[in-house]
Amino acid sequence: PTSSPTGSPTTSPTSSPTSSPTGSPTASPTTASPTEKQHPTHSPTTPTTESPTTSPTASPTVSPTASPTTSPTASPTVSPTASPTTSPTTPPTSSPTTSPTGDCPYDPIVTEVTVGASDPFDGPVEIQYIDREEGTVTFTVTQTWNSSAPVCAISTDYVDVDEGDVCDRQDNVEFGTFKTYTAICVDGVSTITVYAYDGIFDTSAAVPEICRIPDDGLANTEKRVYTLPCVMPNTERCPYPPKYVCEDLTDSVFVSNTFDDSAEAESWLNGESAVVGSASVLSAPVGEGVAKVFAIPEGTQVAMVDIQLIQAVPVETTYISVRSLLIEITDGEFSGYAGEDPSGVFVSVSDVTSTDSLAVRDVSLAVPSSFFEDGFLNIGFLAEGETGIDEFSITMYCSSPTGSPTTSPTTSPTSSPTASPTSSPVTTPTTSNPTLSPTVSPTTSPTASPTGSPTTSPTGSPTAS
């Protein structure tokens, strides 16, 4: 019997007494057994699923699922899960990202700088090549502090491939002049330290004994510590610098700049774009220099550097540097070896045009391989007057052209042009066969065989046959 009368007759008896009358008869018993709760729930309960759902839920579940879902949720949950998930919630991207994040892996990382250090025109350390197979990194240290005078000394402390811990010191380093080093990588990086000493520095730095620069203690010295990455992944954004081979070049003109684009001028150390006359040129503040390092293909015997200068009249002295060699370009034409060294750079200066206000001059430098044995060539430029470089190019020759005119004709054509034009025409014929048409004057000696047709005038002497 029920504890109280029902509101209306039931169609069948209940399996057990109810705690209160039902509002109307039920179609069947509510549960197979009495509920554990003594009171009905305030709202319908939502049962948990017996297995994972086949697709994400539209909104977060109020309690964790019995097992991981078969696919990620459509959006992040608004609150943390009640227990750790068995796999990451964020799925991988369907395709690689278009570019890596962060800085280019070829940028040296500055980890320490002397407090109060000066601000150079550009970073003195530049990575040139990473050899992952050998576990080494090749870099250059360039004098970028003073564009109008040399720096007294620069020391570079690093771990050399052959000698281990070394500290190389360079004295009286001109602006833009550099030195190339190859260091060993440890755990994917190479750490180097650069010490610069000069009167322009008002800072002091502790310098190890092997790097000790001046004799007057540690004053006037700057210290910079760099970490060079060695095993960064090769990417389209920062590809590994290729090692070119001279014989593989499809175009012997390896570098060509007209400086119509200001970016070409600004790619030079301390370089700026300017206008001289109506031409866009590479220039620098008067009395200051510009410089740039070029990677030279392996196997190159001679690098021909061609420069077109535009100079205000009267022409002031201009200096062009090739590594540590300083070449003085004065008014007038010139042809010969710089410093009268026959194993050095052959220089040719010629006047192109000249007006009352401007002079256009061509300068050609035949630079032998002894100037870029490490694979790099540094070219610098400094002008005392209003001067700019209008055109600049470097042409690679895999075999050496002659440095000056030959004294007699060659027996066969040369594989490459001479470094400068011959001073006069050749004095004897270069052909070994009869000419296709009569010569304009008698030959100086009998021909080796009869001519193909009669001559228009008698020969100067009897023929041999």
For 42, other C-beta atoms within 10 Å of its C-beta total 5
Tens-of-pLDDT digits for all 465 residues of the chain?
A: 555 555 555 555 555 555 555 555 555 554 444 444 444 444 444 444 445 555 555 555 544 555 555 545 444 444 454 455 444 443 433 333 333 333 555 678 888 988 877 777 667 888 877 777 788 888 889 888 988 888 999 999 999 988 999 999 998 888 888 888 999 988 888 999 999 999 888 888 888 888 876 655 578 889 999 998 886 665 555 555 667 888 888 778 889 999 998 889 988 888 889 888 888 999 887 778 888 888 889 899 999 999 999 988 888 888 898 988 889 888 888 999 987 788 899 999 999 998 888 999 999 999 999 999 888 898 988 887 788 999 999 999 987 655 444 445 555 555 555 544 555 554 445 445 555 555 555 555 565 555 555 555 555 556 555
Q: Which CATH number fits domain 109-229: 2.60.40, 1.10.3470, 3.90.1150, 1.10.287?
A: 2.60.40
Q: Which CATH number fits domain 246-397: 2.30.30, 2.60.120, 3.40.50, 1.10.3470?
A: 2.60.120
Distance of alpha carbon 34 from the chain centroid: 81
264 φ, ψ (degrees, to nearest 5): -65, -40
* Cross-strand partners of 260: none
H/E stretch holding 367 reads strand 358-368
Encode 316-353: b = buried (16+ Cβ within 10 Å), e = exposed: bebebbbbebebebebeeeeeebeeeeebbbbbbeeee
For the sheet with 318-322, list strands across it: 289-295, 376-383, 318-322, 325-329
pLDDT in tens, 277-318: 888 999 887 778 888 888 889 899 999 999 999 988 888 888
Domain ranges of the chain: 109-229, 246-397
Query: Is the pTM higher than 0.85?
Result: no
What is the secondary structure of 289-333 as a DSSP string?
Answer: EEEEEEEPPBT--EEEEEEEEEEESSPPPEEEEETTEEEEE-SS-
